[in-house]
Structure 1
């Protein structure tokens, strides 16, 4: 799997796997980052792509001192399953 990148122009964290692009869309609102949608193409589902993507996005938020608003249901569920990220929630 490739490295997750923050495409700030599109406000998406992206991960390319086997010619397919998974993404976590977000909106920056001051010191908060609102995750609005996660998309993993069917061709690469079931490989932990979304988890890798969200883990990197949350680590980036922490590194930049941002609070997280998990509007996306996958991001919210990921945070529930990984208590080490709960302190990020706004």
Structure 2
């Protein structure tokens, strides 16, 4: 299971060169959007983007992100819960 790291207000996720990454960011309208990138076992790049049904709560966004992180060996999910 991926480690969850909550960022301070205004803090950004560290840059990741070739490592898999995933971040969930709050928007000013109360929704939570996830984005990420990793590689399939064959080496092909795969991206992550939240689906509309997963953005209405942090719980929903995190649940979907954790499933993706497990499938694509993402070690850390960065969470920016403050949209400012």
Higher relative contact order (CA 8 A, sep 6+): 2
Report the TM-score, using the length of structure 2 for normalisation: 0.35
- Of Structure 1 and Structure 2, which has the larger fraction of its residues in helix? 1
